[in-house]
Chains A and B, each alone.
Chain A
Amino acid sequence: MLDQSNPFTMLRLVSWVVWKIPSRRPLKMAGFSHTEAGSSLDMMDAAELAPTASLRKKYFRHALDEFRHSRLFHERAIALSRGSHAADVLEDAEYSASHGIRGETSLYERLGETEFLAFVWLHERQGARQFGLYADLMKHDAASSAMFAEICADEEYHVSYSRRELDRIEIQKGPREVRGAIRRLRLRRAREAFLRTSHGFGHVMAGLWLTVIYFGIVAPFSLAGRRSAPAAGLVATPGASARARLEYEVQG
């Protein structure tokens, strides 16, 4: 995701470079497809749990939009990579957010109503800007440009309904409620960005360490004589079940 605090011109430049490279386009599209599918799941959770019929309706409609976007991006990714190996992989790949872990509770439960709406508003505003820009930048690829424009129109709906809901909360509970939610959200984002970076850094460091361990510890074991690989064929296991009954507390 592009940071909305970036100056717009900078965003424009970076996007232009990214979209200029044809081989990157299908991957970008596939990435958007996953993001949109993930949003659709978050909106579905919200629709399951929303306290009022009015919110439920909006969240459900929003979930339908995001799912459709996900599919549009997926189809675009395939169309753009026609004839290459990527097409094959993408064609078979799922367009739903079928990777990763979603945690034990939904985003909606974690954030609560006001913060969730603030989250939707911020993200949709950013999405609308981004896709609007892409529609503009992609003029040389009419189909992609039209798709971005179509999606952008939906995103604008998402911006406006979430803003209206936030306004409603401001009237009901005072402006502090919403301002506080937005502030907490920005803090949360900063913290998550920090965690991502440090996690990424930790991952790289762990990878390096593991390489050292691999050559330092695994290698000597391996050279000292390969542990005999299990024999092929059937191996008799007398008493195995009785042992399992006795060793039920043992992890291994």
Chain B
Amino acid sequence: MSDYVLGISAQFHDAAAALVRDGEIVAAAAEERFSRIKHDSALPFRAAKWCLEHEGIRPDDLAAVVFHEKPLRKFERLMITQINAFPRSLEAFRRTALSWFPDKLWVRGALAKGLGIDARKVIFSDHHLSHAASAFYTSPFEEAAVLAVDGVGEWASTALFDASRNGIERLSEIHFPHSIGLVYSAFTAYLGFQVNDGEAKVMGLSSYGQPRYVDEVRKILRSSETDGITVDLSYVTYQHSATQSFSARFEQLFGPARSGDARLDITTPEGRRYADIAASLQAVAEDCVVDLANGLQRQTGRTDLCLAGGVALNSVINARLTSRTQFKRVFVHPAPGDDGCAAGAALWAWNEVLAGRRGPALTRPGLGKAWSNGEIAKLLADLDIKHTAFDDEDAMIASVVDDLVDGKVAGWFQGRFEWGPRSLGHRSILADPTRPEMTERINRKIKFREQFRPFAPAVLQGHEDAYFEMAPGTELLMPWMLGVFPVKDGARALLPSTTHVDGSARVQSVDDLANPLFQRLLIAFGRATGHPVLLNTSFNLKGEPIVTSPLQALRTFYSSELDVLYLGNFRVINTAIGKHFYE
């Protein structure tokens, strides 16, 4: 039997491919990183082909290609829901039929043809099982309870598992349309953001508000440890509409949806109302996950929890779980959303279908493509771009520290790109977090995005406690930047540009396992300033996927007001590229 299994997730949003060798993820990438279409949902052939290329294998070498869910079951759910919603579901029915009949129903054939493999090698996992496997099989836990919470998969919106040496056993699930994720998305739409993209903005907005509308939100979304989640369906319309997710009754409850005048201004009463609604939603969503987790803990008796699914991108909830439940430790996969299902599907098949030996825990997020210093040198020479070349990494790091201390904002492009939605020190924009002007500057001049979105601090492992109020048992969230923690009173003034308005921060801790080069930079910066902390935000402009290649890094660099760019061991400063390029 071959040692390789390829996992594929696609057809909803965030398509991805992940290659597992001997139970370990060796290459993984979201399709958007290659196609440059944000949240690209097409079958991820570009990413899949790169995965094979990375390992130098041919499609024939794969033991199996695993799709992350069962398409026919999902189609069944759509059809039954639409029959039930007759005659309001005409438009949704036509949309479903037009996308499923010519295309989505024929996944096996499309994958076999696109990848050049035998169709019998294509097998199918189950959506929440894929989520669960992505978390459990990359966690350091021998046994754990696993909670997968998202919008919806085939029928389930939430699934509870008990995982051990014997595999991942599904204990119970909650079915569509009762879904925390879909209610969160309905609020996202109500608050004027794009569904499947703006949820993070709702979370950011929530820290500007007070949870004044908790009782109202609870009318829509209720939870208990024994019964799970219940949604009052009179407030939502996602169950029969493809374009509208909240009802007129929803607006009667909360007032008119955000529309009309341009920017969301939190200083106006209207803006504050939206922030308060976001805060209330956040509080109720947290209670829901806590109830589910407590119920699961009681049922399984486990002390470790793996959380998976899109809801696990909510770093505020993640960080509270050990203090609000009986669980002692919590782990989240670096790609908890549907992109991560590609890894989960492959890991599930390896461990449970092919009965392979379980691989090691995941310790590093850099699972994407890398470019060598030689390739970067050639690119810079080809493009005639003035640069400084450093002999070694130490000299390069010393120069970055000088630039950052000098108040410059730096693009940092090093090694393999990250797996999952966060930049974790491979494709990052870095700055000195002690400078208060950085938030405004980076938001407005570099990323062109809403001002209320906070930046994250990356801190050298071992120094978290000096700045942040860490909850015990949350250490495993930190390498992936998936936990929000209070900044200690004394440190708030110290780290103004990475401390959110409510005094919290989404912390990433860095050690030599996760990212040795980035760790060395933090050590050097700490030596120079006394604080081994950097502002770390993703290397992209608003609306674009994070940069993948050195050329994309250069395009982003020249299209923004970034001061300086480090591409491998090369430093480039931002001087306009002239029209002489055409001569």
Q: Which A residues between 171 and 218 are near B, CB-CB below 8 angstroms?
A: 203, 206-207, 210-211, 213-215, 218
Task: Knowing A88-B262, A92-B198, A230-B176 are in contact, say whether A244-B126 is a contact too (CB < 8 A).
Answer: yes
The answer to whether A207 touches B98 (Cβ under 8 A) is yes
Is there a chain B Cβ closer than 8 Å to A101's Cβ? yes
A contact residues around B177 at 8 Å (CB) = 229
Q: Which B residues between 85 and 114 are near A, CB-CB below 8 angstroms?
A: 86-87, 89-90, 93-94, 97-98, 107-108, 114
Is there a chain A Cβ closer than 8 Å to B165's Cβ? no
B contact residues around A64 at 8 Å (CB) = 555, 558-559, 577
User: CA A169 – CA B151 in complex, angstroms?
Assistant: 54
- B160 to chain A: closest residue by CB: A234
Contact residue among A203, A210, A219, A244 (Cβ-Cβ distance under 8 Å from B125): A244
User: CA A229 – CA B169 in complex, angstroms?
Assistant: 25
The answer to whether A250 touches B262 (Cβ under 8 A) is no
Contact residue among B93, B168, B349 (Cβ-Cβ distance under 8 Å from A248): B349
The answer to whether A244 touches B581 (Cβ under 8 A) is no
Query: Helix, strand, loop or mixed for chain A's interface?
Result: helix
Query: Helix, strand, loop or mixed for chain B's interface?
Result: mixed
Is there a chain A Cβ closer than 8 Å to B244's Cβ? no
Interface pick from A10-18, A19-27, A50-58, A143-151: A50-58
B contact residues around A160 at 8 Å (CB) = 582
Task: Knowing A214-B94, A232-B178, A237-B172 are in contact, say whether A251-B124 is a contact too (CB < 8 A).
Answer: yes
Q: Which B residues between 228 and 248 are near A, CB-CB below 8 angstroms?
A: 228-231
Is there a chain B Cβ closer than 8 Å to A170's Cβ? no
User: CA A105 – CA B572 in complex, angstroms?
Assistant: 30
Q: Which B residues between 219 and 273 are near A, CB-CB below 8 angstroms?
A: 226-231, 258-263
The answer to whether A104 touches B46 (Cβ under 8 A) is yes
> How far in angstroms is the closest Cβ of chain B from A127?
16
Contact residue among B84, B87, B125 (Cβ-Cβ distance under 8 Å from A229): B84
Is there a chain A Cβ closer than 8 Å to B543's Cβ? yes
- Which of A60, A87, A203, A249 lies at the interface centre, i.e. has the most chain B CB atoms within 10 A of its CB? A60
Contact residue among B36, B155, B176 (Cβ-Cβ distance under 8 Å from A44): B36
The answer to whether B555 touches A232 (Cβ under 8 A) is no
Is there a chain A Cβ closer than 8 Å to B35's Cβ? yes
The answer to whether A237 touches B171 (Cβ under 8 A) is yes
Is there a chain B Cβ closer than 8 Å to A168's Cβ? no
The answer to whether A234 touches B227 (Cβ under 8 A) is yes
User: CA A207 – CA B559 in complex, angstroms?
Assistant: 42
- A68 to chain B: closest residue by CB: B559
Contact mask for chain B residues 61-101; partner A; CB cutoff 8 A; 1 contact, 0 none: 00000000011111110001111101101100110011000
The answer to whether A47 touches B551 (Cβ under 8 A) is yes
The answer to whether A218 touches B86 (Cβ under 8 A) is yes
Is there a chain A Cβ closer than 8 Å to B193's Cβ? yes
A contact residues around B76 at 8 Å (CB) = 252
Interface pick from A1-9, A115-123, A129-137, A220-228: A220-228
Task: Knowing A44-B555, A56-B382, A88-B261 are in contact, say whether A101-B581 is a contact too (CB < 8 A).
Answer: no
The answer to whether B382 touches A96 (Cβ under 8 A) is no
B contact residues around A40 at 8 Å (CB) = 555
Number of interface residues of A (CB under 8 A): 73
> How far in angstroms is the closest Cβ of chain B from A52?
8
Task: Knowing A56-B383, A94-B542, A101-B37 are in contact, say whether A251-B70 is a contact too (CB < 8 A).
Answer: yes
Q: Which B residues between 162 and 177 are near A, CB-CB below 8 angstroms?
A: 167-177
The answer to whether A245 touches B352 (Cβ under 8 A) is yes
Is there a chain B Cβ closer than 8 Å to A67's Cβ? yes
The answer to whether B37 touches A100 (Cβ under 8 A) is yes
B contact residues around A248 at 8 Å (CB) = 123-125, 349, 353
- B556 to chain A: closest residue by CB: A67
A contact residues around B169 at 8 Å (CB) = 241
User: CA A85 – CA B261 in complex, angstroms?
Assistant: 7
> How far in angstroms is the closest Cβ of chain A from B303?
21
Is there a chain A Cβ closer than 8 Å to B552's Cβ? yes
The answer to whether A252 touches B71 (Cβ under 8 A) is yes
The answer to whether B381 touches A241 (Cβ under 8 A) is no
> How far in angstroms is the closest Cβ of chain B from A32?
16
The answer to whether A236 touches B172 (Cβ under 8 A) is yes
- B168 to chain A: closest residue by CB: A241
The answer to whether A60 touches B543 (Cβ under 8 A) is no
The answer to whether B383 touches A60 (Cβ under 8 A) is yes
B contact residues around A92 at 8 Å (CB) = 192-194, 198
A contact residues around B552 at 8 Å (CB) = 44
- B45 to chain A: closest residue by CB: A104
The answer to whether A227 touches B172 (Cβ under 8 A) is no
Is there a chain A Cβ closer than 8 Å to B38's Cβ? yes
The answer to whether B126 touches A252 (Cβ under 8 A) is no
A contact residues around B123 at 8 Å (CB) = 248-249
B contact residues around A97 at 8 Å (CB) = 36-37
User: CA A56 – CA B581 in complex, angstroms?
Assistant: 10
B contact residues around A219 at 8 Å (CB) = 86-87
The answer to whether B124 touches A250 (Cβ under 8 A) is yes
User: CA A23 – CA B39 in complex, angstroms?
Assistant: 30
Residues of B whose CB lies within 8 Å of any CB of A are 35-40, 42, 45-46, 70-76, 80-84, 86-87, 89-90, 93-94, 97-98, 107-108, 114, 120, 123-126, 129, 154-155, 159-161, 167-178, 192-194, 198, 226-231, 258-263, 295, 349, 352-353, 381-384, 448, 542-544, 549, 551-552, 554-555, 558-559, 577, 579, 581-582
Q: List 12 A-B contacts (CB under 8 A).
A: A44-B555, A62-B582, A83-B262, A93-B194, A94-B543, A98-B38, A104-B46, A161-B582, A214-B86, A222-B83, A234-B173, A249-B123
Residues of A whose CB lies within 8 Å of any CB of B are 40-41, 44, 47-48, 53, 56-58, 60-64, 67-68, 71, 78, 82-85, 87-88, 91-102, 104, 157, 160-161, 203, 206-207, 210-211, 213-215, 218-219, 221-223, 226-227, 229-237, 240-241, 244-245, 248-252
> Known contacts A98-B544, A226-B84, A232-B229; can you find 10 more A-B pairs with CB under 8 A?
A44-B552, A95-B543, A100-B37, A104-B114, A210-B98, A214-B94, A232-B227, A233-B178, A248-B353, A252-B70
